[in-house]
Structure 1
Amino acid sequence: MLALTSIWTTILLAAAVALGPLATDMYLPALPQIGSDFGSGTSQVQLTLSLYMVGFAIAQLVVGPLADRFGRKPIMIGGFVLFALASIGCALASNIETLILCRFLQALGGSAGPVLGRAAIRDIYTPREAAKIMALLASIMALAPAVAPTIGGLMVAGLGWHSIFLALGGYALIMAVVVTFGIPEPMRPEYRQPLKLCSLLRNYRAIGTDISFLGYTLTNALIFSGLFAFLSGSSFVLIDFLEVPPQQFGLYFAGIVVGFVAGNLSAIRLGSRLVPDQILIRGLVIAVAAGSLMVALALAEVFSVWAVILPQALFMVGTGMVLPQTMAGAMANFPRMAGYASSLFGFAQMAVAAGAGMLVGYLHDGTSLVMATVIAICAVCSLSSYLLLVQRHPAPGFEPHAVSGQ
């Protein structure tokens, strides 16, 4: 077993958490082909992505309390096994309805990785340390979306979209073995919570009425929704509208990931001389500027790959700076209920993102305008949430100028 504070433990946690991005990013190049094979429209195919996020959101409300009762490892391992079985179901699906159902089941198992990865980081580190570790973890995780669309595009071209889900199932089984034998249980025994309905409701109420938690969570969910709006619409915009070959889709997507990694690394570097509040405002301003630029280019009918990729890469720089700070800030006040806090945080993040994704799918007009507009709106709303909630109610122990009772 590795030491909990080892860099290798962080890498393995990142690999476990990366299952979520892999389950969305790897099959993005396949969405047009799935629609063609099943004779389904854009909005129906997009449900395989949005309902995955809905299932992901709902499952997190259960995964966290279970992990606070039984520990992080057994719940994470069970989630990986369920994900693997559902992935096989996706590969064998013969119609769009079956694929949507299996994607929903896949989400129920896949939710364990991100929820318990965040909780484990909070188990191991202080709130300020957790912000840096989460930024490092996000940078490592970014390798998944950097290579996943390219691999997915090549698999679609050579083996068909079914092979993607078989590969995802295999990855989940490998991670179940790695977590079983490689990572110690990070949760302290004295922090275990009773699994009773009254306790569950009481804990969720305590977390959900904490203004500091709500501020960080809403700021995170809205900026993440801008990212998810791009994930939902990018394959239709780039492949269908701008005629990018599926096998090249991942190469352009890698540019987006470079922006995200740059934002993560900037957050790590700035963390030694700036407080989280200062990093947050910088990232949010960058995201708003990037979203506005993409909308302006679409309104001017500048329809090219780079008119989409360059503004989105800049948006991801801001997102990479914002996400680690808001994750750590939301978790800061709840060391004894990290699983609950991570669950509610993840539920809000995925529910809002699913709504943004569905909006892109239903309003898609065949160009990049709808996707760009949703991304810009999400960025502006995230900045507003920060100004109205986070600045007025920073988390004690995370922001140096915060005091208890705010």
Structure 2
Amino acid sequence: MLALTSVWTTVLLAAAVALGPLATDMYLPALPALGEAMAVGTDQVQLTLSVYMAGFALAQLLCGPLADRFGRKPVMIAGFVLFAGASLGCALATNIETLTLCRFLQALGGSTGPVLGRAAIRDIYAPRDAARIMALLASIMALAPAIAPTLGGLMLDTLGWASIFLALAGYALVTTVVVAFGIPEPMKAEYRQPLRLGSLWHNYRSIASDISFLGYTLTNALVFSGLFAFLSGSSFVLIDFLEVSPRHFGLFFAFMVAGYITGNLTAMRLSHRLVPDQLLLRGLGIAAAGGSLMAGLAMAEVFNVWAVIIPQAIFMTGVGMVLPQTMAGALANFPRMAGSASALFGFVQMTVAACVGALVGHLHTGTSLVMASIIAIAALAALVVYLLLVQRFPAPGFEPTAEA
């Protein structure tokens, strides 16, 4: 077993957390092909993405309290085994209804990675240190979406869409072994919570009534929904509208990931000189600028790949600065309920993202305008929530110099 504070523990946690995003990013190039293979429209294919996010959101409300009672590792391992089985079901699906159901089950298992990865970081580190470690974890995780769409596009071209889900099942099984034998249980025994309905209700009510938790969580959810708007619409915009081949889709997607990594690394470097409040303001400003630029170009009918990719890379630079700070800030006040707090945080994040993703699919007109407009609105809304809630009600242990 590795030491909890070892950098390799962070790497292994990142590999576990990446399972959920991989289930989205790897099959993005296959969305148009799935519609053709199953003879359904864009909205029904896109529903497999939104249903995944909805399942992801709901499952977190259960896996967080379970982890607070039984520990992080047992729940994470059980989730990954479920994910592997559901991925196999996706590969064997012959109609959109079966695929959608298996995607929902896949989400139930995959949700354990992000929820319990965040909780484990909070178990191991103090709030300010946790923000830096989450930025490092996010940078490592960003390698997955940088590689996944390209790999998914190659597999689609050579082996067909089912091979993507078979690869996800294999990754889940490997991750199960890694977590089981490579990472110690991070949760302190004295922090275990009783698994009673009254206790769960009390814990969630206590967390949801914390105004600083709401501020960080809503800011995160809105800026994340801008990212998910791109995930929901990018394959239809780039592949169907702008005629990018599935094989090359991931290469353009990598520009977005490069922006995200840049934001993560910038946040890590500046965290020694700036308080999280200052990092959040800068990150949200960059995200709003990128989203507004994309929307402005779309309104001006500038329709080409770079009019989408460059603004999205700018947006993602801001997202890379914002997400680690909001994650750590939301959990800062709950060392004894980190699993439940992470679960409620993730539920809000994924619920908002699922609604936005469904909106992109429903309103899609064949160009980039709808996707770009929603990204811009999400970024600006996140900035407004930050100004109204986070700046006025920062988490005390996370923003020790906020009043100064």
TM range (shorter): over 0.9
Partner secondary structure for residue 238 of structure 1? helix
**Counterparts of 1:231 and 1:194, CA distance in 2:** 38
Matches within 5 A, 1:227-246: 227-246=227-246
Cα contact 2:226–2:376 (8 A) shared by 1: yes
Q: For residues 340 and 296 of structure 1, what CA distance do their matches in structure 2 show?
A: 40
Give the 5 Å matches for 1:239-388.
239-388=239-388
Residue deviations 1:370-398 (CA, integer Å, cap 9, x gap): 00000001001100110000000000110
Write the deviation string for residues 261-318 of structure 1: whole angstroms up to 9, x where unpaired: 0000000000010000000000000111111100110011100000000000000000
- In the alignment, the residues of structure 2 paired with residue 193 and residue 376 of structure 1 have an alpha-carbon distance, to the nearest angstrom, of 41
Letter in 2 for 1:132: R
How far is 1:6 from its partner?
0.1
Distance (whole Å) between structure 1 residues aligned to residue 168 and residue 111 of structure 2: 14
Q: In structure 1, the residue corresponding to 2:348 is in which secondary structure?
A: helix
The residue type equivalent to 1:2 in the other structure is L
Q: Deviations over 1:81-105 (max 9, x none)?
A: 0000000000000000100000000
Alignment map for 1:68-147 (pairs within 5 Å): 68-147=68-147
The SS at the match of 2:194 is coil
Paired AA for residue 303 in structure 2: F
Deviation at 1:402, TM superposition (A): 5.0
Structure 1: distance between partners of 2:334 and 2:361: 36
Report the RMSD for the aligned CA atoms in angstroms.
Answer: 0.6
In structure 2, runs of 5+ residues without a counterpart are none
Aligned to 1:59: 59
Structure 1 partner of 2:166 = 166
CA distance in 1, matches of 2:263, 2:70: 35
Which aligned segments of 4 or more residues in structure 1 are displaced greater than 4 angstroms? none
TM-score, normalised with respect to structure 2: 0.99
The CA deviation at 1:401 is 3.1
Contact 1:393 1:402 (C-alpha < 8 Å) held by counterparts: no
**Kept after mapping to 1: 8 A contact 2:4/2:124:** yes
Instruction: State percent identity of aligned pairs.
Output: 77
Q: Distance in 1 between matches of 2:399 and 2:156?
A: 46
Q: Which residue of 2 aligns with 1:3?
A: 3
State the partner residue of 1:39.
39
Partner AA of 1:397 in structure 2: G
Which AA in structure 2 matches 1:202?
Answer: H
Contact 2:275/2:402 (CA < 8 Å) preserved in 1?
no
For the 8 Å contact 1:225–1:353, the answer to whether it is kept is yes
1:148 deviates by 0.1
**Residues matched between the structures, number:** 403
Q: Counterpart of 1:188? A: 188
Give the distance between the partners of 1:374 and 1:116, measured in 2 at CA: 30
- Check whether the contact 2:277–2:402 (CA below 8 A) recurs between aligned residues: no
CA separation in 2, counterparts of 1:262 and 1:254? 12
CA distance in 2, matches of 1:63, 1:390: 27
User: Hey, what's the Cα distance between the residues in 2 that align with 1:224 and 1:363?
Assistant: 19
Contact 1:256–1:309 (CA under 8 A) maintained in structure 2:
yes
Q: Tell me the secondary structure at the aligned position of residue 395 of structure 2.
A: coil
Alpha-carbon contact 1:219-1:383 (below 8 Å) kept: yes
What amino acid is aligned across from residue 174 of structure 2 in structure 1?
A: I
1:220, 1:382 within 8 Å by CA — same for their partners in 2? yes
| 1:400 CA drift (Å) | 1.4
Distance 1:249 1:359 in 2: 23
Deviation at 1:244, TM superposition (A): 0.2
Question: TM-score, length-normalised on structure 1?
Answer: 0.99
Alpha-carbon separation, structure 2, partners of 1:20 and 1:320? 18
Query: Aligned partners of 2:254 and 2:18: how far apart in 1?
Result: 16
| Residue type of the alignment partner of 1:316 | M
